[in-house]
Amino acid sequence: MDENTGTYSVFEYGRMRAREYALRWAHGRNPLFYNFAGIGGDCTNFVSQCILAGCCTMNYTPTFGWYYRSLNDRTPSWSGVQYLYDFLTNNTGAGPFGRQAGIDELQLGDVVQLGSGDGSFYHTLLITGFSRRGYLVSAHSGDAYDRLLTSYSYRELRPIHIEGYRSAEKAPPECFWALYEGRALPG
């Protein structure tokens, strides 16, 4: 945060880094993070990791921020489908921010959530590629590496376009590599 104005600078989201991280860990588990597969699913935790790889900036606001330090020290938005959507689309502080978008607006590193048709959403995926047949996604809880989005069964689709991230300074490259290699969380 700029000490004089009390504002953050806005930086470009590292879409290729988010994608690279997703493809590295799509069929594995980064030892820095708890695996939520047995307690509700690991999909949003995984996508949060990917987004973090693209910005290296967390929001440490208790309850309504977006951060992960450990299983017992994290916000609901880190691993909860609806909470991640709420954070990304309402965040005015540090960290990533975005908006609900049209499906045709999605880019690498953007997020898609699948819903049941009753207004509830249950699965979070990251856009990791494109093919003639549609978007390719990577995910956990049903591990997927460049899987066709159209191969999923869902009633509703909620695309989220990541517009950038706010931070006191641009994330250094070594932050990405420490996260990618499973050595250290940004801090």
Give the global pTM: 0.95
CB 85 within 8 A of CB 56: no
Indicate the residue type of 127.
Answer: I
| 4 assigned to some structural domain | no
Q: What pLDDT is recorded for position 2?
A: 38
Q: From residue 65, how far is each of 1, 24, 137, 162 by CA, in Å?
A: 16, 26, 25, 16
pLDDT at 172 over 60: yes
Q: What pLDDT is recorded for position 104?
A: 96
Q: Which two tokens stand for residue 101?
A: 């978008």
pLDDT at 1 over 70: no
Place of tokens 């819903």: 115
**Domain interval for residue 146:** 9-180
Backbone angles phi, psi at 68, to 5 degrees: -140, 125
47-70 burial code (b ≥16 CB/10 A, e <16): bbbbbbbbbbbbbebeeebbbbee
| 185 assigned to some structural domain | no
pLDDT at 48 over 50: yes
- β-bridge partners, 148: 136
Place of tokens 């979070």: 124
Indicate the residue type of 176.
Answer: F
Share of the chain above pLDDT 70, in %: 97
CA dihedral 47, 32, 35, 181 (to 10 degrees): 60
CB 109 within 8 A of CB 126: yes
Average pLDDT over residues 103-118: 97
pLDDT at 57 over 60: yes
| 2 assigned to some structural domain | no
The closest alpha carbon to 140, from 21, 26, 17, 19, belongs to 26
At 100, the pLDDT band (50, 70, 90 cuts) reads very high
pLDDT at 76 over 80: yes
Q: What pLDDT is recorded for position 4?
A: 37
| pLDDT tens per residue, range 126-156 | 999 999 999 999 999 999 999 999 999 999 9
- Please give the angle made by the CA atoms of 78, 80 and 86, to the nearest 5 degrees: 85
At 5, the pLDDT band (50, 70, 90 cuts) reads very low
| 19 assigned to some structural domain | yes
CA distance between the termini of the chain? 15
Q: Which two tokens stand for residue 102?
A: 């049209």
Domain count, the chain: 1
| 1 assigned to some structural domain | no
| 153 assigned to some structural domain | yes
| 186 assigned to some structural domain | no
Q: What pLDDT is recorded for position 63?
A: 92
| 68 assigned to some structural domain | yes
DSSP state of 152: S
Average pLDDT over residues 85-111: 98
DSSP state of 24: H
